[in-house]
Structure 1
Amino acid sequence: MTQSRGRTALPYVAAIDGLRALAVLAVVAYHASVAGVPGGFFGVDVFFVISGYLVTALFLARARTQVGGVPIPDGAETQDFWYRRARRLVPAAAAAVVLTWLVYAALGVRSLGDLSAEALAALGYVGNWFFLVRDQSYFETITSPSPFLHFWSLAVEAQFYVVWPLLLIGALKFGGRLAAFALAVSLAAISTLVVAGLYSPEADPSRAYYGTDARVAGLLLGAALAIVVRPGLA
């Protein structure tokens, strides 16, 4: 049975902002080499889980049609989701990239060729793969890192935003909430196995740290949580 419903907004949860703040502090402490916080970079994983939860919950909450009690966004709503994500992320990121490029170009501390290529990769939300191809380690401190290095995490999220809604819709149509939850958890497990296969104590872990296939587990676990706890899913 197909039913229409009004769009809903997600309620504000102060605890989520608290988790975000803790994640920021952990990452900042790691990059500042604060003693006792050697694993602060895992704060990024906290962000990924939160993002996966919020984005999936928002995507489902805006669905106007229910099939068998399950809200399933249609094509127009999916396009609207992508548009809203782009409108939220692109302007600020583009401004940051342009300003950074201008400052570094003026200072002359990095070749314009490298700087421009890195800026384009950041703007195209493929920075994580770009830095892997360029063999730019996230953990290397001997050479001067790219000013756009940290855009890798935005690239992972953007790639997730493009693909996940399509997979989620397919799973919901196929088997409802249970199928969608199983898909999210299964893909997260596969991503974890990818990390296990890539990681070696003797090698630079950047491939396991940058790769979308290796880092999507957090986003998917957040998505699985949204599928379980959001109201309106049968």
Structure 2
Amino acid sequence: MDTILRRKLTLTLTLTLLCLAAPAHAQVYFDFTSGGVTSGSSFGNSITFTSGDVTLKATSWADTGANDTFESARIRSWASYGLGSCNRNEGSNCSNPEHQFDNYGDHDYALFVLTGGTSEVLFNTITLDPYNTWDRDVSFWIGTIDPGLDLTGYDKMDLAMLGFGAQMDVFNSRSSAAIEIALNNISGNALLIAPNADQTSTYYRHVDRFKITGLEAEEMARVPEPATMFLFGGGLLGGALIRKRRPGLTVES
């Protein structure tokens, strides 16, 4: 009887701890074609979006500084079309087509930093709309960074030391169709994305241009600390032993 009880206890405890340890994922989606709270109206401004208990702060940057270092740009929202950017060489009120993220002369970058909820998410997909017929090659970096990071004065070669992972590139054909880019379910709290960061073109047919319409990610639930699981498991075991010792209690085989 004791052997049977021990087996049942072992199985129950194992299954319980596995359930506690398994991270649960909650889907979050940010629609950049509507909503959002804008802070500031010139270079260095930001737009904030919320999905569930996760807050996303969007800013834009460009390599318009000395020696191609980053300077803040102005991020803007266009209803139905999503997020675009005006860099310092274009002017804060730039017009079509410069108000898209592009690599015409300079490289524009969008930085998305997530806070609240859990400390990290799995980045699933991002949706881009070329808003005309343009090339749609993309470079992106995902990492865990200081939420207050200011990219001013850095360049893309500094991204690793700032907490970003390796540069990922996705090459797409020239088209006017919106496209969904897989972000490979990489975990982090920040996404930096740009039109092909290794190409600069002034020939229109080679320019990569797009607005950003949406971002999908999965919020990762916190895994219980080992001490918590130990105490919980110990409680189960102790309760079961007390139950066994109660007089008149039988254990079914």
Give the TM-score taking structure 2 as reference length.
0.24
Q: Which has the higher strand share?
A: 2
Larger Rg: 2
TM-score (norm 1): 0.25
